Amino acid sequence: MDQSLAAWQPRPGQPLQLDPVEVPQPGPNEILVRNMAIAINPVDWLLQDSALFPWLDYPAILGSDVAGDVVAVGSIVARFKIGDRVLGQAVGATTNRPAHGAFQTFTLVLSNMASHIPPNISYVDAAVLPLGVGTAACGLFQKDHLALEHPSLTPKATGKTILIWGGSSSVGCNAIQLAVAAGYECVTTASLHNKDMVRSLGASEVFDHADQNVVDQVVQALRGKDFAGALHATGNMQHCFSAVSACDGRRFVSTTLTPPADRAAGVETNQIFATSLKDNEVSDAVYVNFLGRALAQGKIRPAPPAQIAGSGLASLQTALQSQKKGVSGKKIVVTLDN
Ligand SMILES: NC(=O)c1ccc[n+]([C@@H]2O[C@H](COP(=O)([O-])OP(=O)(O)OC[C@H]3O[C@@H](n4cnc5c(N)ncnc54)[C@H](OP(=O)(O)O)[C@@H]3O)[C@@H](O)[C@H]2O)c1
Mean pLDDT of all residues belonging to the chain: 97
Residue 326 alpha carbon, nearest atom of ligand 1: 20
- Report if pTM > 0.85: yes
Cβ neighbors of 292 (< 8 A, separation 6 or more) are 115, 116, 117, 118
Read off the pLDDT of each residue in 107-136 and give the average, rounded to a whole number. 98
Q: Supply the pLDDT for residue 217.
A: 98
Residues 7 and 113 in one domain: yes
Q: Is the pLDDT of residue 2 over 90?
A: no
In a domain, 294, yes or no: no
Residues 16 and 144 in one domain: no
In a domain, 296, yes or no: no
Residues 210 and 327 in one domain: no
Ligand 1 geometric centre to CA of 301 (Å): 19
In a domain, 283, yes or no: no
Amino acid at 58: Y
Q: Which helix (H) or strand (E) holds 245?
A: helix 237-245
Q: Which of 234, 321, 325 has most ligand 1 atoms within 8 Å of its beta carbon, as the pocket-test mutant?
A: 234
Question: At residue 242, what are phi and psi to the nearest 5 degrees?
Answer: -60, -45
Domain endpoint, select from 249, 271, 293:
271
In a domain, 168, yes or no: yes
- Say how far apart CA 288 and CA 38 lie, in whole Å: 21
- Angle of helix 42-49 relative to helix 316-325, nearest 10 degrees, comes to 100
Residues 143 and 249 in one domain: yes
Range of the domain at 194: 134-271
CATH for 95: 3.90.180.10
Sign for the pseudo-dihedral over CA of 109, 114, 119, 123? negative
Residues 103 and 156 in one domain: no
Ligand 1 geometric centre to CA of 169 (Å): 5
Q: Is 21 helix (H, G, I), strand (E, B) or coil?
A: strand
- Ligand 1 neighbour 171 (Cβ under 6 A): yes
Q: Supply the pLDDT for residue 1.
A: 66
Domain endpoint, select from 219, 245, 271:
271
Q: Is the pLDDT of residue 263 over 90?
A: no
Residues 117 and 140 in one domain: no
Query: Residue of the nearest CA to atom 17 in ligand 1?
Result: 169
Residues 179 and 77 in one domain: no
CA nearest to 104, candidates 35, 22, 32, 202: 35
Residues 93 and 175 in one domain: no
CB–CB of 20/98 below 8 Å? Answer: no
In a domain, 290, yes or no: no
In a domain, 286, yes or no: no
- Ligand 1 neighbour 191 (Cβ under 6 A): yes
Q: Supply the pLDDT for residue 23.
A: 97
What are 16-33's pLDDT values in tens digits? 999 999 999 999 999 999
Residues 124 and 138 in one domain: no
Residue 271 alpha carbon, nearest atom of ligand 1: 1
- Ligand 1 neighbour 329 (Cβ under 6 A): yes
Question: At residue 30, what are phi and psi to the nearest 5 degrees?
Answer: -115, 160
Residues 254 and 138 in one domain: yes
Domain endpoint, select from 271, 287, 321:
271
In a domain, 162, yes or no: yes
Q: Is the pLDDT of residue 3 over 80?
A: no
Count of domains observed in the chain: 2
Q: Supply the pLDDT for residue 262.
A: 87
Residues 117 and 143 in one domain: no
Residues 139 and 260 in one domain: yes
In a domain, 145, yes or no: yes
CATH for 161: 3.40.50.720
What are 198-247's pLDDT values in tens digits? 999 999 999 999 999 999 999 999 999 999 999 999 999 999 999 999 99
- Say how far apart CA 115 and CA 88 lie, in whole Å: 7
